């Protein structure tokens, strides 16, 4: 290997740095020798690379890349070990695809040859990990896939992968990396030029935005349903001003990101009624499932506008929500354009908006009061999720914080005012997401308070030993709240929703739901030197949360609070 060449494995890493990748979240295996040699070679030759972070489990790698993108808007790379590592990445890939999170997913591929070539099979797993179609493990969750064939392809295929991942609609891409190819020399000169391909842009269609603005402005009872936020701080502020000016209620039904301050007077909360039954115009703002067709029935004459980077969600075979106007654009760009277009319709609308404002604010105030009353009523032993949310809201007031909820703290009782302060589990439901996602957000901003809240089942799914080890190793002072009801609460609610008077609902011991006896989760966290506490009585929770946050502020290490809840 001359100074003018390096292993194709190292060359790939160098090209990722040129593309703007900051981190490679990696779980290594026997296919990684050329990657590890490339890291050492690049260090010796003073070639700049992304920082490679050791991930003891691939679920953590995927979750951290997911969270880092949420915090920075920058796609990152994940590297896994052949088919077995890729299998562990599959849930994270499904979650990323559903959340429109771009990432570059790589895994090794079992060596193709058995002898006479550097990188050929050397141990029995070289045969045992062979698959006829390894990519099938993640194909449905990725936008593009390829198997690297030649070392001279490294730069151009990395460029293409990054461009496809970051083009709208954004999402993960996958490339498999045969060991023999990674072992071959690659000219360093090929890594120097600027990227050969850029992500494509989807512009806002002026006529479609004008039509959407007209429909919304002329409506007597407009409604906006928002699930995935507004896309940027600027759009977040413009959206709040627009709905306030026009007195348009916003339902954050099953929201996974915050689109409107949670205590905003136009925030209708998660309940779509009575708004959806009354609405003569509905804007669906980046929603996978804006309502439940079996429960919610929009008026036959209601005009429905769908907006987002993939407003019809073409990846999903069955999604038949009507769309009279479909606007495919970056969500932030579309929100800003719609807010601007609405200004042309303001003349003569003050009286209508004022009357609507009185009705909407009366309802939203009642909804908020009900949510806060439910929190106060749940302060016993054990507590309710609503009470835990209210205590968390008080604990993080007046400081920069981001809250994640994976079947943990509900949004209704948390006073959040800014873009990127709330994330809920993806609608794909791949559990074990919030802990590593929170670590990724914390990695991007170590001084921000990041609070990952989750149910006891979700915590177990997150491979907590792995995630706590990462938090300690990288010095990520995350706060974890484990809301423990010793069961799969979401499963129980699903059963009682479909069979409210069924045998299971009447049973004191519903089959396939219980998780008792519950482990002592504080012991899991203590194994990685975390600060821990366990709370069973509501009156103790505010003080414990304050102490946990004080520990993070003063010691900059992780903390876990296990909270015994009911329901």
Give me 441's structure tokens.
């957000």
Give me 450's structure tokens.
């990041």
Shared domain check, 516 and 416: yes
CA distances from 248 to 135, 300, 332, 434 (A): 46, 20, 18, 32
Shared domain check, 37 and 92: yes
Total tally of structural domains belonging to the chain = 3
Inter-axis angle of helices 464-474 and 434-444, nearest 10: 10
How many beta carbons lie within 10 A of that of residue 204, not counting itself? 18
Domain contains 221: yes
CATH number, residue 336: 3.40.50.1220
Q: How far separated are the first and last CA of the chain, in Å rounded? A: 63
Shared domain check, 392 and 306: no
Shared domain check, 178 and 307: no
| Residue 513: predicted pLDDT | 77
| Residue 2: predicted pLDDT | 54
**Three-state DSSP string of 80-109:** ECHHHHHHHHHHHHHHHHHCCCCEEEEEEE
How many beta carbons lie within 10 A of that of residue 526, not counting itself? 14
**Three-state DSSP string of 116-138:** CCCCCCCCCHHHHCCCCCHHHHC
Domain contains 471: yes
Shared domain check, 340 and 219: yes
Shared domain check, 404 and 302: no
Domain contains 366: no
Domain contains 199: no
Domain contains 452: yes
Instruction: For residues 472 and 476, give the distance between their C-alpha atoms in angstroms, rounded to a whole number.
Output: 7
Its sign, for the CA torsion 521, 527, 532, 534, is: positive
CATH number, residue 458: 3.40.50.970
Domain boundary among 299, 332, 360: 360
Task: Dump pLDDT digits (tens) for 189-204.
Answer: 777 788 889 999 888 9
- Cβ atoms of 384 and 565 closer than 8 Å: yes
Domain contains 515: yes
Shared domain check, 144 and 12: yes
Q: For the chain, how big is the Rg over CA atoms in Å?
A: 25
- Cβ atoms of 206 and 137 closer than 8 Å: no
Domain contains 369: no
Domain contains 285: yes
Q: Where are the beta strands (DSSP E) in 218-300?
A: 222-226, 250-251, 267-269, 281-285
Domain boundary among 296, 326, 360: 360
Shared domain check, 551 and 425: yes
Shared domain check, 118 and 211: no
Closest to 384 measured CA to CA, from 410, 353, 348: 410
Cα torsion through 544, 549, 550, 555, rounded to 10: 120
- Structural domain that includes position 542: 378-564
Domain boundary among 166, 191, 216: 191
pTM over 0.85: yes
Instruction: For residues 209 and 471, give the distance between their C-alpha atoms in angstroms, rounded to a whole number.
Output: 45
Closest to 329 measured CA to CA, from 341, 320, 317, 347: 341
- Cβ atoms of 530 and 558 closer than 8 Å: yes
Instruction: For residues 134 and 126, give the distance between their C-alpha atoms in angstroms, rounded to a whole number.
Output: 14
Q: In a 10 Å sphere around its CB, with 0-12 CB exposed, 13-18 middle and 19+ buried, how is residue 389 labelled? A: buried
Shared domain check, 180 and 150: yes
Give me 554's structure tokens.
């003063």
Shared domain check, 553 and 483: yes
Shared domain check, 248 and 180: no
Alpha helix locations (H) across 284-349?
331-342
- Cβ atoms of 176 and 208 closer than 8 Å: no
| Residue 449: predicted pLDDT | 98
Taking only the tens of pLDDT, the chain with its 567 residues reads 556 888 899 899 999 999 999 999 999 887 788 888 888 888 888 888 999 999 999 999 999 999 999 999 999 999 999 999 999 999 999 999 999 999 999 998 888 888 888 878 888 888 888 889 999 999 999 999 999 999 999 999 999 999 999 999 999 999 999 989 998 988 877 777 888 899 998 889 999 999 999 999 999 999 999 999 999 999 999 999 999 999 999 999 999 999 999 999 999 999 999 999 999 999 999 999 999 999 999 999 999 999 999 999 999 999 999 999 999 999 999 999 999 999 999 988 999 999 999 999 999 999 999 999 999 999 999 999 999 999 999 999 989 999 999 999 999 999 999 999 999 999 999 999 999 999 999 999 999 999 999 999 999 999 999 999 999 999 999 999 999 987 767 777 788 888 888 888 787 777 877 778 889 999 999 999 999 999 999 999 999 999 999 999 999 999 999 999 987
Instruction: For residues 173 and 163, give the distance between their C-alpha atoms in angstroms, rounded to a whole number.
Output: 10
Strands 172-178 and 145-147: parallel
| Residue 488: predicted pLDDT | 64
């Amino acid at each position: 290997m001359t100074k003018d060449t390096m292993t194709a494995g190292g060359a790939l890493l160098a090209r990722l740095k040129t593309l703007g990748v900051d981190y490679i979240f990696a779980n290594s295996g026997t296919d990684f020798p050329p990657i590890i040699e490339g890291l050492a070679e690049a260090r010796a030759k003073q070639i700049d690379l992304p920082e490679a972070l050791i991930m003891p489990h691939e679920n953590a790698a995927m979750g951290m890349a997911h969270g880092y993108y949420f915090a920075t808007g920058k796609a990152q790379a994940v590297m896994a070990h052949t088919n077995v590592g890729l299998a562990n990445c599959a849930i994270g890939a499904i979650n990323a695809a559903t959340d429109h999170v771009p990432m570059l997913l790589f895994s090794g591929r079992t060596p193709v040859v058995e002898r006479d070539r550097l990188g050929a099979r050397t141990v029995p797993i070289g045969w045992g990990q062979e698959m006829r179609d390894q990519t099938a493990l993640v194909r449905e969750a990725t936008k593009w896939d390829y198997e690297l064939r030649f070392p001279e392809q490294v730069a151009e295929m990395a460029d293409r992968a990054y461009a496809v991942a970051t083009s709208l609609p954004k999402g993960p891409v996958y490339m498999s990396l045969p060991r023999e190819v990674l072992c071959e020399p690659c000219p360093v000169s090929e890594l120097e030029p600027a990227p050969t391909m850029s992500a494509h842009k989807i512009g806002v269609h002026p006529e479609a935005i004008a039509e959407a603005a007209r429909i919304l402005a002329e409506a007597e009872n407009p409604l906006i349903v928002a699930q995935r936020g507004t896309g940027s701080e600027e759009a977040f502020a413009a959206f709040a001003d627009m709905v306030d000016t026009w007195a348009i209620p916003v339902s954050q039904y099953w929201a996974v990101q915050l689109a409107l301050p949670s205590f905003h007077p136009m925030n209708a909360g998660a309940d779509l009624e009575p708004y959806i039954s009354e609405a003569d115009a509905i804007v669906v703002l980046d929603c996978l499932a804006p309502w439940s067709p079996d429960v919610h029935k929009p008026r036959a004459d209601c005009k429905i506008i769908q907006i987002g980077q993939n407003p019809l969600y073409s990846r999903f075979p069955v999604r038949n929500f009507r769309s009279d106007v479909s606007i495919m654009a970056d969500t932030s760009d579309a929100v800003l354009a719609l807010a601007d277009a609405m200004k042309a319709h303001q003349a003569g609308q003050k009286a209508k908006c004022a009357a609507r404002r009185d009705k909407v604010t009366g309802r939203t105030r009642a909804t908020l009061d009900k949510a806060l009353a439910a929190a106060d009523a749940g302060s016993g032993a054990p507590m309710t999720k609503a009470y835990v949310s209210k205590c968390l809201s008080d604990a993080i007031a007046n400081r920069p914080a981001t809250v994640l909820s994976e079947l943990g703290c509900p949004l209704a009782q948390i006073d959040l005012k800014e873009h990127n302060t709330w994330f809920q589990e993806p609608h794909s439901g791949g559990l074990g997401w919030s802990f590593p996602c929170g670590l990724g957000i914390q990695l991007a901003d170590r001084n921000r308070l990041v609070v990952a809240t989750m149910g006891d089942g979700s915590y177990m799914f997150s491979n907590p030993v792995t995630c706590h080890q990462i938090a300690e190793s990288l010095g990520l002072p995350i706060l974890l709240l484990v809301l423990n009801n010793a069961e799969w609460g979401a499963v129980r609610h699903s059963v009682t929703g479909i069979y409210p008077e069924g045998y299971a609902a009447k049973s004191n011991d519903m089959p396939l739901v219980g998780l008792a006896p519950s482990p002592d989760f504080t012991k899991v966290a203590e194994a990685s030197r975390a600060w821990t506490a366990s709370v069973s009585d509501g009156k103790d929770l505010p003080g414990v949360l304050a102490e946990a946050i004080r520990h993070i502020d003063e010691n900059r290490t992780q903390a876990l609070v296990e909270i015994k809840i009911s329901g």
